[in-house]
Amino acid sequence: MDVARVEGWVVLTQTCDIVNFAEGRDLVAVAPLVKAKLGLMQAVAKGTTPAAAQLENSPGRTSLLT
């Protein structure tokens, strides 16, 4: 992936998934929040890659959820 560095983490799991625990299931899913390079930002803006997505209220204009 075309990323410069991880800036933080985003919790993807919904509250209902955590409280409805079942053995053998992951409890919490997280994804890195990264500062993306221009090529990846353009692909996300065009919708041509499922590898990343923009996140509302991210810490920067070039921060993506991967």
Per-residue model confidence as pLDDT tens for the chain (66 residues): 555 578 888 888 888 877 777 777 767 888 888 888 888 888 988 999 888 888 776 666 666 666
CA dist 50 and 30 (Å) reads 17
Q: Where are the domains of the chain?
A: 3-65
**Residue 4 confidence (pLDDT):** 59
Nearby residues of 23 by Cβ (< 8 Å), 6 or more positions away: none
pTM above threshold 0.85: no
3-state secondary structure the chain: CCEEEEEEEEECCCHHHHHCCCCCCCCCCEEEEEEECHHHHHHHHHCCCCCCEECCCCCCCCEEEC
pLDDT of residue 48: 92
